[in-house]
């Protein structure tokens, strides 16, 4: 699993809705079908992509499959994004300083 795999998995809005649904705990495929508003085969295809990217894990409970979030790949993505957030924060700080200086009254 790579950062690219995780990015490719979460680019799809349906997969992001699935991740949001399991963020606080396990959900069955049936529950996810209702939450996402898609037929079971479609939800299962999305779950496979998320599983392959390492974002979810599944456990069997009798004849049900319960899915839960694996936050580690998202933490790795967060670490990878940190330098970019820092760069944007610095740029926004510079823009703020520029706007403050531009808005300050000029001495004549």
Q: How remote is the C-alpha of 77 from its chain's centroid?
A: 9
Asked whether the predicted pLDDT for residue 81 surpasses 90, the reply is no
Give the architecture-level CATH label for domain 3-70. Answer: Orthogonal Bundle (1.10)
Overall average pLDDT of the 54-74 stretch: 93
Percentage of the chain lying above the pLDDT 70 cut: 96
Output the average pLDDT for the chain.
90
CA distance 59 to 51: 12
């Amino acid at each position: 699993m790579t950062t690219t795999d995780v990015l490719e998995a979460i680019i799809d809005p349906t997969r992001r809705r699935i991740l949001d649904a399991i963020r606080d705990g396990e959900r069955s495929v049936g529950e996810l079908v209702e939450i996402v508003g898609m037929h079971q085969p479609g939800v299962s295809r999305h779950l496979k992509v998320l599983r392959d990217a390492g974002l979810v894990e599944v456990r069997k409970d009798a004849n049900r499959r319960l899915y839960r979030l694996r936050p580690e790949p998202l933490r790795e993505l967060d670490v990878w994004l940190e330098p970019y957030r820092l760069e944007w924060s610095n740029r926004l700080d510079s823009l703020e300083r520029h706007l403050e200086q531009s808005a300050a009254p000029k001495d004549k």
